[in-house]
Amino acid sequence: MTALRARSIPGFAPSSEVGRSRRIPAWLALIGALLPFELAIYIADARFTPARLLIVLLLPAALTVLLRKERRPVISDLLIFVTAAWMIYAGYSASTLSPAGAEALELFGSYVVGRAYFLGRPALENFVGALKVVTITLVGLGFADTLSGRFLVHDIVTNALHLQSINPQYREGWIRATATLDHPILFGVFCALAATIFLYSERSAAQRLLFVGLCSLGCIASLSSAAYLSLILVITIYAYDCLLKRYYWRWQLLGAMCSVFIALVFLLSNNPVGWLVSHMTLDPESGYYRIMIWDIATAQIALSPIFGFGVIEFNDQVLDNTVDSIWLVMSLRFGIPAIALLCLTTLATFVLTGRHPCADDDYEDQIRTGFTLVLVTYLVVGLTVHFWNYTWIFWGLCAGIRASLYERQSARRGQQVAEPVSPVAKSRWHRRNVASSGLSPRASKS
């Protein structure tokens, strides 16, 4: 019965077909994390990092899949297109079309790949399986950095290609691991994002403990407060979810509490954004430095708030060296509308989904929450982290997957409106909820 129901939902192929056809896209979408940016190649005047090139190779076929008549468009599809178009137009206005187009291509392309190829449980399992291998490799290479006292992979590649090596970063006498990614902060945050997916994709407590523990070691090796903050945020929300699992209104309550907290910060603080940024770091000196960055960047943004300045040098010691916030960088390059569109696109993949208690696949219900939490982490940690190269691509990829889960959820809802759920399915859902709540069937009926 389950197989027949799955076939009747538009856009969902039998599991064996989906499993065969989604392994290669999963590997191609994730393997870019293991290929350092120094391996970039040039096609004409365009520079392609390995991750960007793989997304470009997947994009034409992904667009074909996504434009099939059985696929259902969602609002985030339109928003991601408008976001990318705005970035390109703003870059053109500032005469920096090439780098602006590259960033827009990474975001839009990875979103489309996520939307096209990861629809349904077999494809998601392929994605998680590939992510496990990539994460294990990354953490291993991160500890190789720690043990060797240098950026091992980057040094090997730069020496082989006769390129300038990356200057290693130290904290408390230890090197900050970066593995194959571009910066220790990006490495640590990626480990925290992977832990989020594993928390909600693994079937047993032992598997969750194993993979989340491994990701935690990667966060520790990065020696990054942003990574620690991401991991603490994820584990806290996961514990909250487990504690109140029987109550469907738990997410509305969490959203209300966060809204009240932010409102109080803005009401009681003379510099609310500075207060939030300074309290998102473990090192007070780093917090004050980030507040200084926000003050300098916001003053510059006010000079061109609509279209920004493009990808340029400002001849400023701070702005040309480090702007530790994706929201500030996007505003400086593409204007305030760009960050509004990016935020709306991300939120649209999950805030409109609502509650669907009649779903017949616990795995998809769980992993839907996991990808939502990944995107929330991006939105929050982006206040103190600038994402680029693979971590920027991973944002678009996760947003696309979450939008596909929304599409599948909408398809189920539409089918069940047309065809009422059978008593057997209702009974199965009831028993599952009773089991998760810890109540006996007799007590739940009373």
Give pLDDT, residue 356.
52
In a domain, 434, yes or no: no
Distances (CA, A) of 249 to 245, 259, 377: 9, 15, 21
In a domain, 438, yes or no: no
Lowest mean pLDDT among 77-91, 263-277, 350-364, 431-445: 431-445
Using one digit for the tens of pLDDT, what is the confidence trace for 13-49?
Answer: 444 444 455 689 999 999 999 999 999 999 888 899 9
Tokens 């209702």 belong to which residue?
426
At 103, the pLDDT band (50, 70, 90 cuts) reads very high
At 417, the pLDDT band (50, 70, 90 cuts) reads very low
At 324, the pLDDT band (50, 70, 90 cuts) reads confident
Q: How far is CA 76 from the centre of its chain?
A: 15
Give pLDDT, residue 281.
73
Give pLDDT, residue 318.
85
Q: Is 70 exceeded by the pLDDT of residue 396?
A: yes
Give pLDDT, residue 317.
85
In a domain, 437, yes or no: no
Calpha distance 333→315 (Å, rounded): 15
Report the helix count and the strand count for the chain, using DSSP H and E: 19, 4
Among candidate residues 188, 136, 208, 137, the one with its CA nearest the CA of residue 367: 208
In a domain, 127, yes or no: yes
Q: Is 80 exceeded by the pLDDT of residue 225?
A: yes
Write a three-state SS string for 316-354: CCCCCCCCCCHHHHHHHHHCHHHHHHHHHHHHHCCCCCC
Domain range enclosing 53: 7-419
Q: Is 60 exceeded by the pLDDT of residue 330?
A: yes
Calpha distance 22→313 (Å, rounded): 41
Give pLDDT, residue 288.
78
Q: Mean pLDDT, the chain, as a whole number?
A: 86
pTM greater than the 0.75 cutoff: yes
Q: Which amino acid is at 238?
A: Y
Using one digit for the tens of pLDDT, what is the confidence trace for 121-136?
Answer: 999 999 999 999 999 9
For residues 308-315, give the mean pLDDT.
Answer: 90
Give pLDDT, residue 4.
37
For residues 379-397, give the mean pLDDT.
Answer: 96
Using one digit for the tens of pLDDT, what is the confidence trace for 362-386?
Answer: 888 899 999 999 999 999 999 989 9
Calpha distance 239→241 (Å, rounded): 5
Please tell me the total number of residues recorded for the chain in this structure. Answer: 446
* 39-45 LR contacts (CB < 8 Å, sep 24+): 39/157, 39/161, 45/98
Letter string b/e over residues 248-272, b meaning 16 or more CB atoms within 10 A of that residue's CB: eeebeeeeeeeeeeeeeeeeeeeee
Calpha distance 409→11 (Å, rounded): 12
Return the bridge partners of 171, or none: 174
Give pLDDT, residue 419.
46
Rg of the chain on CA atoms, in Å: 22
Calpha distance 307→327 (Å, rounded): 14
Q: Is 60 exceeded by the pLDDT of residue 305?
A: yes
How many domains does the chain fold into? 1
Task: Provide CB contacts within 8 A for 82, sequence distance 6+.
Answer: 341
Letter string b/e over residues 339-375, b meaning 16 or more CB atoms within 10 A of that residue's CB: bebbbbbbbbbbeebeeeeebbeeebbebbbbbbbbb
For residues 267-289, give the mean pLDDT.
Answer: 77
Q: Is 80 exceeded by the pLDDT of residue 323?
A: yes
Calpha distance 289→226 (Å, rounded): 14
Question: Residue 33 gets which letter from DSSP?
Answer: G
Give pLDDT, residue 13.
44
Q: Is 80 exceeded by the pLDDT of residue 433?
A: no
Give pLDDT, residue 360.
55
Among candidate residues 446, 392, 297, the one with its CA nearest the CA of residue 104: 392
Q: Is 90 exceeded by the pLDDT of residue 282?
A: no
In a domain, 115, yes or no: yes
For residues 157-173, give the mean pLDDT.
Answer: 90
In a domain, 367, yes or no: yes
The burial of 234, by beta-carbon neighbours within 10 Å (0-12 exposed, 13-18 middle, 19 or more buried), is given as buried
In a domain, 2, yes or no: no
Calpha distance 30→25 (Å, rounded): 8
In a domain, 151, yes or no: yes
Calpha distance 194→188 (Å, rounded): 10
Give pLDDT, residue 315.
87
Distances (CA, A) of 367 to 123, 125, 439: 12, 10, 24
Return the bridge partners of 48, or none: 41
Give pLDDT, residue 322.
83
